[in-house]
């Protein structure tokens, strides 16, 4: 009886060792996978209609978008963390540990965090990383509080009657002020000729210095604020994009005719077609002399009730692999070409893929069975679900063989942590490890 228990215990030990060894092999293979993902992202291999490398991974390989983003993030992080990358590639650290450590590791702290990964379990690593990030946030908050407390603005009149302004602003407020000054200065000096400026005492006309231009710009900002009121008000139509496009290029991108923004900048006919897919439209009739003879009422290209039905049916962008929930209505056959504004002739596309269909050569058709079919610019079909990859009968054997060929030695205790069961004191660990923990 006793011998049978010993044999069972040894069998379970061997099983446990095999699990540990294969897990280490899989983590080492994950390092190679991350190298491939980083190269694929750097070379923009995903830019075939997808919004990002993570979106392509989610569609092609199958992880949820959050896990895909993490793989891309870790892949790029390991490029500047060679010690962690080496440990993962040799099965010494699990992907879970490396993923956590790359959230906080820098070239200066990588070595001590690698020691944390080797000494503790995945739970220990997660807890220390949380404490580390708390210390980072605490230090950042202290810096922000110090900067905020040092803000000041002094305005006083000097003995010669000039008003002196001196101050210190927080970075974000300073950035807003500098952008406003630049905009005011460009507006002021684009509208004013050099001879309009006050001339110096000798009567010669000179362009004001940059300091003088900044002073004039500040005056313009103050006058504008007092004239229009401090409250910026609702955005309203100030942020609308207005495009003037002739009927001919709207119906046929190759036809001659204007297609320009309100400010006069020319845009392509396809850009106008994309903007006109789902927008307010005003039809103007021009006489032979070019003057407007009739202006129609402004109407929505897609009425509100139809838009609600479109969002209810499509539930987000219809491009394969896209997970964006908010989109624009796209006329499969453009209304300027006689396409009806009906649910069957509409598809919901996000901004990225709406541009791809109009301006980048991607094709979208609705088949007789009602299904949408997307094609690349070269005509190849983009399947809704990608084809499955071929996998050998025993992938574990293949992984082990690859590592043997590369000289990577992995055994059951390769990734075993040095933890001996003692209680983890996170606060003490952060005090010892974190460079800002004084």
> Where in the chain are the domains?
2-145+413-433, 152-189, 244-382
Question: What is the distance between the alpha carbons of residues 410 and 398, in angstroms, rounded to a whole number?
Answer: 14
Q: What is the pLDDT of residue 291?
A: 60
**Whole-angstrom distance between the N-terminal and C-terminal Cα of the chain?**
60
Question: What is the distance between the alpha carbons of residues 100 and 383, in angstroms, rounded to a whole number?
Answer: 34
CB atoms within 10 A of CB 104: 18
Secondary structure letter of residue 278 according to DSSP = T
Phi, psi for residue 339 in degrees, rounded to 5: -70, 135
Q: What is the largest CA-CA distance in the chain?
A: 116
Q: What is the pLDDT of residue 179?
A: 87
Show Cβ contacts of residue 285 under 8 Å, excluding neighbours closer than 6 positions: 292, 293, 294, 295
Half-sphere exposure of residue 38: CA atoms within 13 angstroms, side-chain side = 15
Instruction: Using the Cα atoms of residue 17, residue 18, residue 22 and residue 25 in order, give the sign of their dihedral.
Output: positive
What tokens does 407 get? 């000289």
Strand partners, 363: 375
Q: What is the pLDDT of residue 73?
A: 96
Q: What is the pLDDT of residue 232?
A: 47
Show Cβ contacts of residue 325 under 8 Å, excluding neighbours closer than 6 positions: 315, 316, 317
| CA of residue 3 relative to chain centroid, distance | 62
Show Cβ contacts of residue 124 under 8 Å, excluding neighbours closer than 6 positions: 116, 417, 419, 424
Q: What is the pLDDT of residue 274?
A: 81
Instruction: Confirm if 91 and 399 have CB atoms less than 8 A apart.
Output: no
Q: What is the pLDDT of residue 95?
A: 96
Q: What is the pLDDT of residue 413?
A: 87
Query: Of 388, 355, 210, 365, nearest to 277 (Cα)?
Result: 355
Which conformational region is residue 278 in: left (phi greater than 0), alpha (psi within -120 to 50 degrees), or beta? beta
Instruction: Confirm if 120 and 420 have CB atoms less than 8 A apart.
Output: no
pLDDT lower than 70: segments of the chain: 1-3, 190-206, 228-241, 262-265, 283-300, 438
Which whole-number Å values give the CA distances from 372 to 67, 309, 319, 376, in the listed order? Answer: 28, 17, 9, 14
Question: What is the distance between the alpha carbons of residues 125 and 135, in angstroms, rounded to a whole number?
Answer: 15
Which conformational region is residue 389 in: left (phi greater than 0), alpha (psi within -120 to 50 degrees), or beta? beta
What tokens does 17 get? 């060792």
Q: What is the pLDDT of residue 397?
A: 84
Q: What is the pLDDT of residue 56?
A: 92
């Amino acid at each position: 009886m006793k011998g049978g228990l010993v044999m069972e215990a040894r069998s379970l030990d061997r099983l446990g060792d095999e699990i540990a060894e294969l897990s280490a092999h899989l983590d080492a293979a994950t390092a190679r996978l991350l190298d491939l993902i980083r190269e694929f992202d750097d070379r923009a291999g995903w830019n075939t209609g997808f919004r990002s490398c993570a979106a392509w991974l989610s569609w092609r390989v199958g992880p949820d978008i959050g896990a895909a983003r993490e793989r891309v993030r870790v892949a790029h992080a390991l490029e500047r963390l060679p010690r962690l990358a080496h440990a993962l590639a040799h099965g010494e650290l699990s992907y879970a540990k490396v993923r956590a450590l790359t959230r906080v590791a820098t070239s200066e702290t990588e070595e001590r965090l690698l020691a944390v990964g080797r000494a503790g379990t995945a739970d220990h690593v997660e807890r220390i990383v949380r404490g580390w990030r708390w210390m980072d946030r605490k230090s950042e908050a202290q810096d922000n509080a110090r900067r905020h407390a040092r803000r000041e603005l002094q305005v006083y009149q000097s003995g010669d009657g000039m008003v002196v302004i001196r101050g210190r602003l927080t970075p974000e407020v300073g950035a807003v002020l500098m952008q406003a000054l630049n905009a005011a200065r460009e507006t002021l000096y684009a509208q004013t000729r050099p001879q309009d400026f006050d001339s110096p005492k000798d009567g010669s006309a000179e362009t004001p210095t940059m300091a003088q231009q900044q002073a004039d710009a500040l005056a313009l900002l103050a006058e504008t604020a007092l004239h229009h009121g401090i409250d910026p008000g609702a955005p309203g139509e100030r942020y609308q994009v207005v495009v003037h496009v002739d009927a001919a290029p709207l119906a046929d991108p190759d036809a001659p005719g204007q297609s320009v923004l309100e400010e006069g900048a020319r845009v392509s006919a396809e850009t106008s077609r994309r903007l006109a897919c789902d927008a307010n439209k005003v039809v103007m009739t021009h006489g032979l002399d070019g003057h407007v003879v009739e202006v129609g009422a402004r109407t929505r290209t897609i009425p509100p009730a139809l838009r609600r039905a479109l969002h209810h049916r499509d539930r987000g962008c219809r491009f394969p692999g896209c997970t964006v929930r908010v989109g624009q209505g796209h006329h499969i056959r453009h209304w300027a070409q006689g396409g009806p504004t009906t649910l069957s002739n509409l598809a919901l596309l996000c901004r990225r893929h709406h541009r791809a269909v109009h301006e980048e050569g991607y094709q979208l058709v609705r088949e007789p069975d009602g299904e949408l079919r997307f094609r690349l610019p070269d005509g190849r079909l983009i399947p809704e679900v990608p084809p499955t990859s071929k996998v050998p009968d025993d992938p574990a054997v293949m992984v082990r063989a690859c590592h043997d060929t590369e000289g990577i030695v992995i055994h059951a205790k390769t990734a075993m942590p040095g933890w001996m069961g003692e209680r983890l004191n996170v606060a003490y660990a952060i005090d010892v490890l974190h460079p800002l923990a004084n």
